[in-house]
Structure 1
């Protein structure tokens, strides 16, 4: 007897990421050679205090990609320095560069929202 999707145990392998950070520059729309339209932006996220003790680097930067029409529209309404919350999946992407194969990790977006800005007392 099989379990329904609502009661099944989640798979051992998951690919989910949840980040909150600031856009380093305005989002950019482009059309891929396949004809797919995407909007990309770079999200800058502060490292935890524990991670900053191990490294001089205090932030990480992630390229985020919006594939659906709704997410592309939402992304294009953002501006540099906006604080946003993203959820998605990590993707390893490879391309031929001047010095051989170049790899990078990107976030394929599943959701995108402006994060609430804490008010000053």
Structure 2
């Protein structure tokens, strides 16, 4: 039997928490899953930092965000394309099979989603 060892220091606590601010790219979409669960998702467009823009021609990242609880699904359904929002949640890696084989993507399972007033920094 093999035993896995961690390379993290003993006092290190791992965490999976993200906070993103950006703009909603399009109206959120609701889906009913085969399990009977409903999920409401949208894509969040987040500007890259100046340092990241120097390394890549890409100036934004588009991140899928998913609302699973009834309260969050109701809130997310009210979002519109162009709304500035701040979200918190946990990163999840999702998998599916496509025509060319297995595919994966990163998604944020939302804990909070709030509209932000005014404009976001780095809006061009």
TM-score w.r.t. structure 2 length? 0.85
Instruction: For 1:116 and 1:110, locate their aligned partners in 2 and report how far apart those are by CA, in whole Å.
Output: 20
Instruction: For 2:118 and 2:44, locate their aligned partners in 1 and report how far apart those are by CA, in whole Å.
Output: 16
Q: Match for residue 42 of structure 2?
A: 41
Report matched runs for 1:19-34 at 5 Å.
Answer: 19-34=20-35
Instruction: For 1:78 and 1:32, locate their aligned partners in 2 and report how far apart those are by CA, in whole Å.
Output: 21
Report matched runs for 1:1-121 at 5 Å.
Answer: 12-118=13-119
1:51-110 CA-to-partner distances (Å, cap 9, x unmatched) read 001100000000000000000000001100000000000000111111110000000000
Instruction: For 2:52 and 2:76, locate their aligned partners in 1 and report how far apart those are by CA, in whole Å.
Output: 29
Instruction: Give the aligned CA root-mean-square deviation in angstroms.
Output: 1.1
Aligned length: 109
SS state of the match for residue 21, structure 1?
strand
Instruction: For 2:85 and 2:66, locate their aligned partners in 1 and report how far apart those are by CA, in whole Å.
Output: 14
Instruction: For 1:12 and 1:95, locate their aligned partners in 2 and report how far apart those are by CA, in whole Å.
Output: 30
Unaligned runs of 5+ in 1: 1-9
Instruction: For 2:98 and 2:30, locate their aligned partners in 1 and report how far apart those are by CA, in whole Å.
Output: 22
Unaligned runs of 5+ in 2: 1-10, 120-124
Deviation, structure 1 residue 12: 1.8
